[in-house]
């Protein structure tokens, strides 16, 4: 796996990992995952003790909004990329007392067979994760924890106490447009507000200092 760039986003724990595609007249070849490169040589501290134990794939129709999801016991970090179409990833900081607590960012990840690189986005534990789609889109994500029913929850992406100030204004505008007539489950739409989640005792699974101490984010 040839990593050519690691980008730090406006929430610095969220990383975009760009890796090379080797192109010729036939198309391209790439090695999209190699444990030693990602976990030990990428310089991403929160990946050093990570083991990826579950792989998921989803297809979403145009206008779909998913999330914002998170899990504890076990914690679940996610390594996500677009296979076809165009995903915009959404990441909300739910770590209590973190410098960016309550803030959300977006990152657009369109697919293309013409680029000489592809990208993963890494979302460690401590963040609520979701996405929206402006085209029919297929994505995959590798997880650092197996799904644990009863130890997962979500914050509504429409919660009016989410702070969008760190998010690119073009992405926020696109989200607002899709939100006028979204394809979204009742579970996601009616998730917690940020305030109500903070008041829930289970939110104490995401205390900033404790996650940092355990090198989880």
Q: Is residue 216 part of a domain?
A: no
CATH (domain of 86): 2.60.120.10
Q: Is residue 69 part of a domain?
A: yes
pLDDT, mean of each 10-residue run, the chain (217 residues): 94 96 93 89 87 96 97 96 97 98 97 93 97 97 94 97 97 97 97 96 96 92
Verify whether residue 40 is a known catalytic residue: no
What is residue 98's predicted lDDT score, i.e. its pLDDT?
97
Q: Catalytic one among 75, 107, 141, 208? A: 141
Q: Is residue 198 part of a domain?
A: yes
Q: Which two tokens stand for residue 137?
A: 């889109």
Q: Catalytic one among 69, 75, 129, 208? A: 69
CB 133 within 8 A of CB 61: yes
Q: Is residue 214 part of a domain?
A: no
What is residue 192's predicted lDDT score, i.e. its pLDDT?
97
Q: Which two tokens stand for residue 187?
A: 């579970």
Q: Is residue 212 part of a domain?
A: no
Q: Is residue 48 part of a domain?
A: yes
**Prediction pTM value:** 0.94
What is residue 38's predicted lDDT score, i.e. its pLDDT?
87
Number of domains present in the structure of the chain: 1
What is residue 43's predicted lDDT score, i.e. its pLDDT?
85
Verify whether residue 129 is a known catalytic residue: no
Asked if the peptide bond before residue 74 counts as cis, ω within 30 degrees of 0, the response is: yes
Domain boundaries, position 196: 3-207
What is residue 40's predicted lDDT score, i.e. its pLDDT?
84
Q: Is residue 203 part of a domain?
A: yes
Q: Is residue 21 part of a domain?
A: yes
């Amino acid at each position: 796996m040839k990593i050519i760039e690691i980008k730090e986003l406006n929430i610095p724990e969220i990383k975009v990992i760009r890796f090379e595609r080797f192109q010729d007249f036939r198309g391209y070849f790439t090695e999209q995952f190699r444990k030693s490169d990602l976990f030990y040589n990428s310089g991403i501290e929160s990946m050093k003790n990570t083991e990826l134990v579950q792989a998921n794939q989803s297809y979403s129709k145009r206008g779909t909004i998913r999330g914002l999801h998170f899990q504890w016991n076990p914690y679940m970090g996610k390594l996500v990329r677009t296979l076809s179409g165009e995903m915009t990833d959404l990441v909300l900081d739910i770590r209590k007392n973190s410098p960016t607590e309550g803030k959300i960012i977006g990152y657009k990840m369109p697919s293309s067979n013409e680029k000489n690189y592809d990208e993963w986005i890494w979302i460690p534990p401590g963040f609520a994760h979701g996405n929206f789609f402006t085209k029919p889109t297929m994505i995959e994500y590798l997880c650092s924890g197996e799904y644990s029913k009863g130890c997962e929850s979500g914050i509504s992406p429409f919660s009016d106490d989410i702070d969008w100030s760190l998010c690119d204004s073009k992405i926020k505008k696109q989200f607002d447009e899709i939100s006028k007539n979204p394809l979204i489950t009742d579970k996601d739409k009616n998730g917690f507000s940020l305030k109500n989640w903070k008041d829930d005792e289970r939110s104490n699974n995401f205390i900033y200092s404790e996650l940092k101490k355990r090198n989880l984010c």
